Amino acid sequence: MSGSVHHIELWVPDFAAARPRWHWLLTGLGWVDHQDWPGGHSWKAADDSYLVIEESPDLTAQTHDRTRPGLNHLAFWAGSRSTVDDLARQAPDHGWQLLFGDSHPYAGGPAHYAAFLADTEGYEVEIVAKEAG
């Protein structure tokens, strides 16, 4: 387990708005609810890593910009191509938009089957099929 991700914590400017978007995405990928507290929530993956979203009182800005230094995006294994397709199709109903639509699902290259999604706060995720291209 050395070197594996223990957890990822994302600070969001509007927890109440962010929680349903991240809940839909993560539970769609097989994550389960883990912890809950005022202004924060976490989901746990099968490998015991977990992801936190939190509206911290220590935020110094109210927007996330993935093109600035720092986090650009998170990438998750989706398992099958059908899971990638289902999530990409449902994403707009859950606060996510498909990026790179003109080259979807091969925006990452001809052997990389994935959906690139961005939420209304600018956070980007990449949902990758584990099946060979």
Report if residue 117 sits inside a domain: yes
Report if residue 64 sits inside a domain: no
What domain range includes position 80? 7-54+72-129
CA 31 to chain centre: 11
Mean pLDDT of all residues belonging to the chain: 94
Residues of the chain under the 50 pLDDT cut: none
Report if residue 40 sits inside a domain: yes
Number of domains in the chain: 1
Q: pLDDT at position 1, please?
A: 65
The residue type of 63 is: T
Q: pLDDT at position 38, please?
A: 96
Report if residue 96 sits inside a domain: yes
CA 84 to chain centre: 13
Report if residue 59 sits inside a domain: no
CA distance 107 to 66: 17
Q: pLDDT at position 132, please?
A: 55
